[in-house]
Amino acid sequence: MQLIRGALDSTRDFLMSDFSEIKKAKALREITRSRSRLFVCVFTLPVYILALWALLNNGRDIIGFMFFYMCLYAIFAINMASKRCPDCGKQFFVKVFLLNVITKNCVHCSLPYD
Residues that bind Zn ion (CB under 5 A): 85, 87-88, 106, 108-109, 111
CB 111 within 8 A of CB 88: yes
Choice between 44 and 105, CB closer to Zn ion: 105
**Which residue's CB is nearer to Zn ion, number 29 or number 60?**
29
How far apart are the C-alpha atoms of 77 and 43, rounded to whole Å?
14
DSSP 21: H
What backbone phi and psi angles, to 5 degrees, belong to 106? -60, 135
CB burial string 19-49: b at 16+ within 10 A, e below: eeeeeeeebbebbeebbebbeebeeeeeebe
Nearer to Zn ion, 13 or 21 (CB): 21
Identify which of residues 46 and 112 has a Cβ nearer to Zn ion in the complex.
Answer: 112
Least spacing, CB of residue 42 vs Zn ion, in Å: 24
